């Protein structure tokens, strides 16, 4: 028998060096034989220790959304290092890389917030780009702040290689010794509303000035590392993505600075190997059933309206048919049971102490409200993942029983009408009522409303519907969140106010608020022609939002006479985003068309 050829001999020595033969089926494109000697030289230079590792080890990208200057993200580099160490202990090569991010909390209320939503696309672009260009065999992503999570999932879904997300975790609760109470990020922005309307007082010491009180809140609201602690957008998306099956169980509720979060980083190495061995891909987990489950958790826990935008975009990327009407259908049947901030008093750290997200999932599966058959990255079903998890602790008050909900249906309402013919998203917990009628007061940009609030010009004497327009995906551009205004109104106690916008609200926003009005003003939607004094009626029972004082003929006349304003930016990343982005009712995606 003829002896083996040099090529065959090499395959016998390193059998996994043949493309598609092992867990390194993508990276072996570069590392087989001498097809890409330059690539192999560079890989040795980057730290590959020997020929065996080069030829046989799978290569795993570890993508963290790390940068300094934001508590949600500042610790992610360290989490990434632990993931890298654990991956390498499994005889795999781990390559850390970064994506960009923007702090929603720091940019809130300023021009910087226009850059926030588009980072979701940049993050997805970065993960897709590096994974595919570098021939990585698998991907582990580590996000922190709001847009990070959907951006990571969209990137993972695009390249569709074995992937797991590790959520950076929530921040600890803050505490004010001055006020003797817990704080979170929204405490600072809501306190500013009370400061503006001169109602910020310390009941423990009436002699303290409002400046002293606000300074104390600012100093203590964010005591360390991790994302904002309530059921705001970061925790909403982490919970949804855990429910979709793309994280280890418990990832969403494990605090950022806890030992358990570091243990999760260690465990993820074995988990990604299971994904590779069983060829479990992101799109295997992202099914219509799993998105239904994510919506169920969102409604039960009172999640952010941004969850609608991001779930639509994630589903669109995965080519799963998900619409605004699906959210309404799920909201109609799922009770709102979580007493979590912003509308409630507890934080994610409190939920963690009573069992965390898996314990809630376990309860909802037992009740038949959550489908436990969906597949997850562990190779097990959702029900199997939580089967051994403890049930919710007896006597706890964070999560109510299903027969004693805060609201018998979900808090997210999808509205239609002559003001939003293609849909709008309302966050209505029931505490503020289900209907609101008032006179329109129109602001063409968020800063105009913020200035009016800072001057104390919004009265408490009549029902007003404050309209902020030209802040949609194209009009902002960037669809900025408007927590500063909504929080100021709550802090000032302006209960005679409803807020509506073609932009977005933060997960920390609450009150009678409606966002994502589509079509947006910048493309000539009806919100562009609302005038001061028009009567606006919002009815969450009927799921309508209308200008009741404007008939069809008058509305058409105004729309015919409307002329688009000049674009606020014409160059740079925001101008490019405005040209590419779709509407909010389809997730504000840039790659939909």
- Confidence check: pLDDT of 17 > 60: no
The tokens describing 470, both together, are: 């030209």
pLDDT digits 0-9 by tens, 178-192: 999 999 998 998 888
- Confidence check: pLDDT of 20 > 70: no
- Confidence check: pLDDT of 131 > 90: yes
Residue 483: pLDDT band (50, 70, 90) is: confident
pLDDT digits 0-9 by tens, 576-588: 999 999 999 999 9
- Using CA of residue 42, residue 44, residue 48, residue 54, what is the dihedral sign? positive
Single out the residue of 239, 229, 251, 87 nearest to residue 170, CA to CA: 229
- Confidence check: pLDDT of 2 > 50: no
Q: What is the pLDDT of residue 592?
A: 66
Q: What is the mean pLDDT of residues 149-167?
A: 98
The tokens describing 146, both together, are: 């709001």
pLDDT winner (highest mean) among 21-25, 387-391, 487-491? 387-391
Residues 585 and 323: their CA atoms lie apart, in Å, by: 8
Q: What is the pLDDT of residue 14?
A: 54
Can you give the residue ranges of every domain in the chain?
A: 58-171+227-386, 174-220, 412-586
Q: What is the pLDDT of residue 495?
A: 86
Task: Give SS3 for 556.
Answer: helix
215: Cβ–Cβ under 8 A, 6 or more apart, which residues?
none
**Residue 457: C-alpha distances to residues 89, 140, 197, 498, 530 (Å):** 62, 49, 10, 15, 20
- Confidence check: pLDDT of 5 > 50: no
Residues 236 and 240: their CA atoms lie apart, in Å, by: 6
User: What per-residue string of b and e applies to 507-539 under the rule 16 or more CB within 10 Å gives b?
Assistant: bbbbbbbbbbbbbbbbeebbbbbbeeebebbbb
Q: What is the pLDDT of residue 15?
A: 54
User: Under CATH, to which class is 58-171+227-386 assigned?
Assistant: alpha beta
Task: Give SS3 for 509.
Answer: coil
Residue 482: pLDDT band (50, 70, 90) is: confident
pLDDT digits 0-9 by tens, 78-115: 999 999 999 999 999 999 999 999 999 999 888 999 99
- Confidence check: pLDDT of 403 > 50: yes
Task: Give SS3 for 298.
Answer: helix
Q: What is the mean pLDDT of residues 221-247?
A: 97
- Confidence check: pLDDT of 3 > 50: no
- Based on the number of CB atoms within 10 Å of its own CB, is 321 exposed (0-12), middle (13-18) or buried (19 or more)? exposed
Q: What is the pLDDT of residue 186?
A: 87
- Based on the number of CB atoms within 10 Å of its own CB, is 123 exposed (0-12), middle (13-18) or buried (19 or more)? buried
pTM: 0.94
**Residue 316: C-alpha distances to residues 80, 152, 182, 257, 376 (Å):** 28, 14, 39, 33, 19
H runs (alpha helix) in 252-389: 259-278, 282-285, 288-301, 306-317, 324-333, 348-353, 356-366, 382-386
- Confidence check: pLDDT of 12 > 80: no
Q: What is the pLDDT of residue 7?
A: 45
Residues 414 and 406: their CA atoms lie apart, in Å, by: 19
Tell me which CATH homologous superfamily contains domain 412-586.
IlvD/EDD C-terminal domain-like (3.50.30.80)
SS3 letters for 237-256?
A: HHHHHHHHCCCCCCCCCCCC
Residue 453: pLDDT band (50, 70, 90) is: confident
Give CA torsion, residues 529, 530, 532, 538, to 10 deg. 180
User: What per-residue string of b and e applies to 11-50 under the rule 16 or more CB within 10 Å gives b?
Assistant: beebebbbbeebbbbbbbebbbbeeeeebbeebeeeebee
Residues 205 and 202: their CA atoms lie apart, in Å, by: 5
Q: What is the pLDDT of residue 289?
A: 98
Start-to-end CA span in the chain (Å): 59
Query: Percent of the chain at pLDDT above 90?
Result: 85
Q: What is the pLDDT of residue 591?
A: 82
Q: What is the pLDDT of residue 19?
A: 55
Q: Is 251 left (phi over 0), alpha (psi -120 to 50) or beta?
A: alpha
- Confidence check: pLDDT of 16 > 80: no
Q: What is the mean pLDDT of residues 272-296?
A: 98
Name the catalytic one among 64, 163, 188, 506: 506
pLDDT digits 0-9 by tens, 488-540: 787 778 889 999 999 998 766 667 899 999 999 999 999 999 999 999 999 99
How much is the mean pLDDT over the chain? 93
By DSSP bridging, strand 435-443 and strand 464-468 are parallel
Query: Percent of the chain at pLDDT above 70?
Result: 95
User: Would you call 506 a catalytic residue per the annotation?
Assistant: yes
φ, ψ (nearest 5 deg) of residue 292? -60, -45
- Confidence check: pLDDT of 279 > 70: yes
């Amino acid at each position: 028998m003829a002896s083996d050829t040099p090529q065959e001999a090499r395959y016998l020595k390193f059998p996994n060096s043949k493309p598609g033969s092992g867990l390194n089926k993508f990276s072996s494109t570069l590392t087989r034989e001498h097809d890409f000697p330059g690539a192999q030289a560079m890989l040795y230079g980057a730290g590959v220790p020997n020929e065996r590792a080069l030829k046989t080890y799978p290569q795993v990208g570890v993508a963290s959304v790390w940068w300094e200057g934001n508590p949600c993200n500042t610790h992610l580099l360290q989490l990434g290092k632990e993931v890298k160490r654990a991956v390498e202990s499994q005889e795999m090569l781990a390559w850390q890389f970064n994506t960009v991010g923007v702090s929603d909390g720091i940019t809130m209320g300023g021009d910087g917030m226009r850059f926030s939503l588009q980072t979701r696309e940049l993050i997805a672009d970065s993960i897709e780009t590096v994974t595919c260009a570098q021939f990585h065999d698998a991907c582990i992503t580590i996000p922190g702040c709001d847009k990070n999570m959907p951006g990571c999932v969209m990137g993972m879904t695009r390249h569709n290689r074995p992937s797991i997300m590790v959520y950076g975790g929530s921040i600890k609760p803050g505490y004010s010794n001055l006020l003797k109470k817990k704080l979170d990020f929204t405490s600072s922005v809501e306190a500013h509303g009370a400061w503006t309307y001169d109602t910020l007082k310390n009941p423990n010491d009436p002699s303290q000035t409002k400046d002293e009180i606000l300074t104390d809140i600012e100093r203590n609201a964010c005591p360390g590392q991790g994302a904002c602690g309530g059921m705001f957008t970061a925790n909403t998306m982490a919970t949804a993505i855990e429910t979709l099956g793309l994280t280890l169980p418990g990832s969403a509720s494990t605090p950022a600075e806890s030992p358990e979060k570091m243990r999760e980083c260690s465990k993820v190495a074995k988990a990604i190997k299971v994904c590779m061995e069983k060829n479990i891909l992101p799109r295997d987990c992202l099914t219509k059933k799993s998105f239904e489950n994510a919506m169920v958790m969102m409604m039960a826990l009172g999640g952010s309206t941004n969850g609608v935008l991001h779930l639509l975009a994630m589903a669109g990327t995965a080519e799963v048919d998900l619409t605004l009407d699906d959210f309404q259908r799920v909201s109609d049947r799922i009770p709102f049971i979580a007493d979590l901030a912003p509308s409630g008093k507890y934080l994610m750290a409190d939920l963690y102490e009573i069992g965390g997200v898996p314990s809630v999932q376990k309860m909802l599966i037992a009740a038949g409200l959550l489908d436990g058959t969906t597949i997850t990255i562990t190779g097990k079903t959702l029900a199997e993942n939580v089967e051994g998890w403890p049930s919710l602790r007896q006597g706890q008050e964070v999560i109510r029983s299903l027969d004693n909900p805060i609201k018998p249906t979900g808090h997210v309402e999808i509205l239609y009408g002559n003001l939003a013919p293609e849909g709008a998203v309302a966050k209505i917990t029931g505490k503020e009522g289900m209907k609101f009628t008032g006179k329109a007061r129109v602001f063409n940009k968020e800063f105009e409303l913020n200035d009016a609030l800072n001057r104390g010009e919004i009265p408490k004497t009549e029902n007003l519907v404050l309209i902020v327009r030209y802040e949609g995906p194209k009009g902002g551009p960037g669809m900025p969140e408007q927590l500063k205004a909504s929080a100021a109104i709550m802090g000032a106690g302006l209960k005679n106010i409803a807020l509506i916008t073609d932009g977005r609200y933060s997960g920390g926003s609450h009150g009678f608020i409606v966002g994502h009005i589509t079509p947006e003003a910048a493309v000539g939607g009806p919100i562009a022609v609302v005038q001061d004094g028009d009567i606006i009626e919002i009815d969450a029972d009927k799921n309508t939002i209308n200008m009741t004082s404007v008939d069809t003929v008058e509305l058409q006349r105004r729309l015919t006479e409307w002329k688009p304003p000049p674009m606020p930016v014409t160059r740079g990343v925001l101008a490019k985003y405005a040209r590419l982005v779709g509407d909010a009712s389809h997730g504000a995606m840039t790659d939909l068309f």
